[in-house]
Structure 1
Amino acid sequence: MQQPHRLGRAIVLAAGLFAFAASSAFALDVGGYKYDETAKVANQDLKLNGAGVRYKAIFSVYSAGLYLPQKKTTPADIYAMPGAKRIRLVMQRNVNAEEFGQAFMTGIQQNSDKAEKAKLINQLMKFGQLFASIPELKKGDVVTNDYIPGTGTIVSINGKQVTDPIPDPLFYTVLLRIWLGDKPADAKLKTGLLGDTDEPRPANY
């Protein structure tokens, strides 16, 4: 008389384990923060292309994940890809926002030519002013840099938009070069964002 009851319990247990495994498969743990394997930007479904951690000396500064319509393994393919894009940063320590912004601007300077910088000078100044208006980025803060076709680049902190759209598509390419350019902020992070890394692990690994 106990066998049907035991069988039922076994089915429920198996279903629970399957549900747990399925839910775990949809997030990656990157430097202690979860990154969903999909994201929606401007009603477009994106896939996590890769992720990693930005280190300065021996200290982790932020984790980063790159979301694209389709997975790509070369910077050139990523820059040329049409559609929405997102790079999501999660701060791993408190950072002075002005210093953080300066690091962004240095990355842009090192990975752009004179013609590009001349074309984008007003938009770069506008972008730099963003960080001057924020006193500090705190551990756990989420910074998203989205490209929306027909609108441009939008920066949000903890889900709140903090810039007007920066319209030129070239600006987002220049922004991506901070991490994917010939002189990236962190070479290992670049490798991770291109999807070639062992660092990300399933959440609850």
Structure 2
Amino acid sequence: MINPTDGPRVGAWRRAALGFCLAAALSATGVTAAQAATLEGQQFDDTVVLGQHKLQLNGLGLRGVAWLKAFVAGLYVTTPSRDAAALLAETGPRRLRLKIMLQAPSNELTKSLLRRVKRHETPEVQARLADRLALFAQQLDGLGQLMPGDVVDMDYLPGKGLVLSRNGKAAGKPVVGDDLYRAVLQIFVGEHAIDPRMKQGLLGAPA
């Protein structure tokens, strides 16, 4: 027999039981809560859908200098790997997502991109990329002032090219060529990556 004075406790027990049953039902039907990975308070879904493709989170890396934290980057691929060469050789869909943590003009990203390409790509590659790289740099500059909380995506879609977006809004038309996307991705996970710690994180290395 239930004592009327136990009402609040019984109500709490019933809510807990209901929650347990709901969780069990969801599990039985294959529905689970969204998974997410977090770095420096920035949350990334374990999977995203790009076009018709489901991509998996390969890793997360922080870009920072001294005590300044610029952004957390997340790399999404079809088949996760810790091998940078394999990721760079991939020609399928990919997403490089930056979650901005510091107010700064987007042309700082542009200058870094152009500087790294000039320093580490061969003259032949630079000549082949020149026009398309200039177009992408123009799009990147066009993002203007980046603010904490902004999300910048650099997507590659086979047959379309590199698509830049800010907070889900495309910054321009796709720029063709997986070689261009590879040049961009090399800055993050290539042999001469701009930040070795960020590179290791994006490659899924243990913290």
Q: TM-score if structure 2 supplies the norm length?
A: 0.84
| AA partner of residue 193 (structure 2) | P
Cα–Cα, structure 1 residues 64 and 44, in superposed 2: closer, same or farther, change >3 Å?
A: same
Offset from partner CA, 1:140-197 (integer Å, 9 cap, x none): 1110000001111100011111021111110011110010112212100100000003
Which residue is equivalent to 2:165? 156
1:130 corresponds to:
139
RMSD: 2.2
Q: Between Structure 1 and Structure 2, how many residues are aligned?
A: 193
**What SS is found at the alignment partner of 2:174?**
coil
Give the TM-score normalised by the residue count of structure 1. 0.85
Greater Rg by CA: 2
Give the Cα separation in 1 of the matches to 2:187 and 2:55: 21
Q: Point out where structure 2 has 5 or more consecutive residues left out of the alignment.
A: 3-9, 27-31
Moved over 4 A (4+): 5-10, 15-19
Residue of structure 2 in register with 1:28 after alignment: 37
SS in 1 for 2:72: strand
Give matches, 1:68-83, under 5 Å: 68-83=77-92
**Residues in 2 aligned to 1:165 and 1:149: alpha-carbon distance in whole angstroms:** 11
Of the candidates 17, 20, 23, which is equivalent to residue 11 of structure 1? 17
The one-letter amino acid paired with 1:70 is T
Q: Which stretch of the first structure deviates more once superposed, 106-115 or 172-181?
A: 106-115
Indicate which of 22, 45, 51 corresponds to 2:60.
Answer: 51
- Which of 106, 118, 124 lines up with 1:115 in the alignment? 124
More relative contact order, 1 or 2 (CA 8 Å, 6+ apart): 1
146, 151, 158: which one aligns with 1:142? 151
Query: CA offset at residue 132 of structure 1?
Result: 3.1
C-alpha separation between the residues in 2 aligned to 1:127 and 1:81? Answer: 20
| Whole-Å separation in 2 of the counterparts to 1:10 and 1:135 | 49
SS in 2 for 1:120: helix
- Equivalent residues of 2:142, 2:171 under 8 A apart: no
State the shift of 1:44 in Å.
0.2
Kindly, what percent of the aligned residue pairs are identical? 29
